[in-house]
Structure 1
Amino acid sequence: MERPELPLPQLHAFVVLAEELHFGHAATRLGIAQPPLSQQIRRLEDKVGYALFTREPGRIGLTPAGRELLPAARHALTDLADGLTAARQVGSGRAGRLRIGFAASVALTVLPGLLRTFRGRFPAVDLDIREMTTAPQLAALREGSIDIGLLREPPAHDTELGFETVLDEPFVAVLSASHPLATQRAVRVEQLANCPFVLLPRTVGPSLYDQITNLCIAAGFTPQVTQHAVEWQTVCALVETGLGVSLAPESIRRIRLKGVAFRRIEPNAARTRVAVAWRKSDSNPLVPRLRAAFDQDPPDGPRRRPNQ
């Protein structure tokens, strides 16, 4: 049997009349005249197939069918009101869901302050935070499985994605505490020429890997990478055991391992960038709101430089 559609204006009129039990009072509350109200109720009764109100001189009341319909009608109107409120919040960028990818090292720099600021301004937004290295973030952005990326060394040009540098920082040498160079306050890259290296695989961050490699080439040698690790925490742990040295963003100093020494690089000209990335075609209003949150809680150091 086909279920009848019950127009919401008729349900609204029915609920108000059921609460007032007086056509004049209900019409005034609805802001309409009594005849249109009576017509709305008649149309609704025709759809239901039964009378919803008893009508006696000077008084009306709910029939059993009306009493049965009343809670469902109230529920439908409440659901509609809640849905409209939620839709307005999502449309205005004050609610909804935002999927954020971030490189592990970003958790040591801009991520905590960004999330603190954003959550404070938009507590109704559901944040889906995913740890991902740079290359998977770029792929996830293009396929639409994340909305925002926080990554290192974005590509120079991309037709689909936009990038903005939010932080840049120098590199440091990562050494075991027992390494001879650990006694120095700073090291030159060429002093690492005869050391085995521990680096992230190029597949997870091609631009950063190439930048580190180019630092070494500019110093007169090609690094001999003997160990790879996907996370900087693991890179530092392998360095601690004496398996090699590394070059890393300065924020990696915050990974505190007793057996690891971080030394600044001289000359300290090379810097690595952290960028926010997004799809240029994305209409989600939460994306520009999160980008704007960097202005509310700016990280230390030079920042806010558009790549494209």
Structure 2
Amino acid sequence: MNRPDLPLPQLHAFVVLAEELHFGHAAARLGIAQPPLSQQIRRLEDRVGHALFTRGPGRVGLTPVGEELLPAARSALSTLTDALAAARAVGEGRAGTLRIGFAASLALTVLPALLRRFREQVPDVQLHIQEMTTAPQLAALRERSLDVGLLREPGDDDSELAFRTVLREPFVAVLPVGHPLAGHEYVRVAQLADSPFVLLPRHVGPRFHDQIVGLCVEAGFTPRITQHAVEWQTVCALVEAGLGVSIAPASIARIRLEGIVFRRLDPDKLRTRVAVGRHREHRSPLIDPLLAALATDFDT
């Protein structure tokens, strides 16, 4: 019994001969001799079970069976050509889907310029962007449900993940406008010792949380954390409501709320590290264009 699937080289030979209606011209167009072309057509006709061409002295024509097959053959070849082009584009990092996780605060710094540059370089790539805190990003990178993560203080002691520093950002004090220190240009961390704190919970970013607590401990006190919030917008809203003060990355100062102020710290030495992370064994060709878009001029 004949197999129902048709070999693509024979379909290609068939379509070219149907367009040329001349064995010599079709063979020249295909870059083969005339006998191999005739063999391809014969094999295809054997598979179909009927003649595809009428043959006469100096003339070739399509049979009704050939006329029926021609549109489907063209469609099959076109589909294959498109599929090969799409696969090639993915393999070359020009198309496909890239899944990116990012810390919410990075929407105020790195993310907009990164996405703009990436879009300019590879406009056909589909981006799936997900806002996530550090700990869930690390888990997603290990599971490879994310291709790339933009996160704070990931650490470098992870055997599965690789990181590259993108930005080192200073800290600011976040104060309600009625706070006694709100009118100061700089705030010493020790001056916050008597104020309640609003911070992100430790489990969403342990290293980052410990940085802030360590900053306070170095200043001679342990912060009295009375409120937690996962998002910086919420932290700022709680500070505005008078529920405490906070210490945050300097980019948070771009959040505009009338009831809060942001003040640089004195001494201004500590920096929070922003890094791009990926799984060490994840080889998506789309990652390299993204890393290229992360230029060093993000650094401060």
Tell me, in whole angstroms, the C-alpha distance in 1 between the residues paired with 2:289 and 2:71. Answer: 39
Tell me, in whole angstroms, the C-alpha distance in 2 between the residues paired with 1:272 and 1:254. Answer: 17
Kept in 1, the 8 Å contact 2:199–2:235? The answer is yes
Is 1:30 the counterpart of 2:67 in the alignment? no
Which 5+ residue runs of structure 2 have no aligned equivalent? none
Tell me, in whole angstroms, the C-alpha distance in 2 between the residues paired with 1:280 and 1:145. Answer: 14
Tell me, in whole angstroms, the C-alpha distance in 2 between the residues paired with 1:2 and 1:164. Answer: 58
Tell me, in whole angstroms, the C-alpha distance in 2 between the residues paired with 1:215 and 1:255. Answer: 23
Query: What are the superposed Cα offsets for residues 254-293 of structure 1, whole Å, 9 maximum, x if unpaired?
Result: 0011111000100111111110001110111111221121
Tell me, in whole angstroms, the C-alpha distance in 1 between the residues paired with 2:113 and 2:164. Answer: 17
Cα shift at 1:242: 0.3
Is 1:212 the counterpart of 2:212 in the alignment? yes
Is 1:140 the counterpart of 2:107 in the alignment? no
Cα shift at 1:233: 0.5
Is 1:298 the counterpart of 2:297 in the alignment? yes
The aligned counterpart of 1:182 is 182
Tell me, in whole angstroms, the C-alpha distance in 1 between the residues paired with 2:56 and 2:282. Answer: 60
Tell me, in whole angstroms, the C-alpha distance in 2 between the residues paired with 1:20 and 1:55. Answer: 13
Is 1:289 the counterpart of 2:289 in the alignment? yes
Tell me, in whole angstroms, the C-alpha distance in 2 between the residues paired with 1:41 and 1:2. Answer: 15
Tell me, in whole angstroms, the C-alpha distance in 2 between the residues paired with 1:4 and 1:149. Answer: 47
Cα shift at 1:6: 1.0
Tell me, in whole angstroms, the C-alpha distance in 1 between the residues paired with 2:273 and 2:137. Answer: 15
The aligned counterpart of 2:269 is 269
Letter in 2 for 1:172: V
Letter in 2 for 1:192: L
Letter in 2 for 1:59: R
Cα shift at 1:56: 2.4
Cα shift at 1:157: 0.6
Tell me, in whole angstroms, the C-alpha distance in 1 between the residues paired with 2:38 and 2:4. Answer: 20
Query: What are the superposed Cα offsets for residues 214-271 of structure 1, whole Å, 9 maximum, x if unpaired?
Result: 0111111111111111100000000001000000000000001111100010011111
The aligned counterpart of 1:306 is none
Report sequence identity in percent.
Answer: 71
TM-score, structure 1 normalization: 0.95
SS in structure 1 of the partner of residue 182 of structure 2: helix
Is 1:170 the counterpart of 2:155 in the alignment? no
Is 1:248 the counterpart of 2:248 in the alignment? yes
Aligned residues: 300
The aligned counterpart of 2:71 is 71
Cα shift at 1:90: 1.0
The aligned counterpart of 1:48 is 48
Letter in 1 for 2:297: P
Cα shift at 1:2: 7.5
Letter in 1 for 2:160: E
Letter in 1 for 2:129: I
Tell me, in whole angstroms, the C-alpha distance in 2 between the residues paired with 1:285 and 1:235. Answer: 38
Which 5+ residue runs of structure 1 have no aligned equivalent? 302-308
TM-score, structure 2 normalization: 0.97
Kept in 1, the 8 Å contact 2:168–2:299? The answer is no
The aligned counterpart of 1:305 is none
Letter in 2 for 1:82: D
Tell me, in whole angstroms, the C-alpha distance in 2 between the residues paired with 1:169 and 1:149. Answer: 17
Q: RMSD between aligned alpha carbons?
A: 1.2
Cα shift at 1:5: 2.2
Query: What are the superposed Cα offsets for residues 11-30 of structure 1, whole Å, 9 maximum, x if unpaired?
Result: 00000000011111111111
Tell me, in whole angstroms, the C-alpha distance in 2 between the residues paired with 1:58 and 1:93. Answer: 49
SS in structure 2 of the partner of residue 43 of structure 1: helix
Letter in 2 for 1:241: A
The aligned counterpart of 2:124 is 124
Tell me, in whole angstroms, the C-alpha distance in 1 between the residues paired with 2:230 and 2:248. Answer: 13
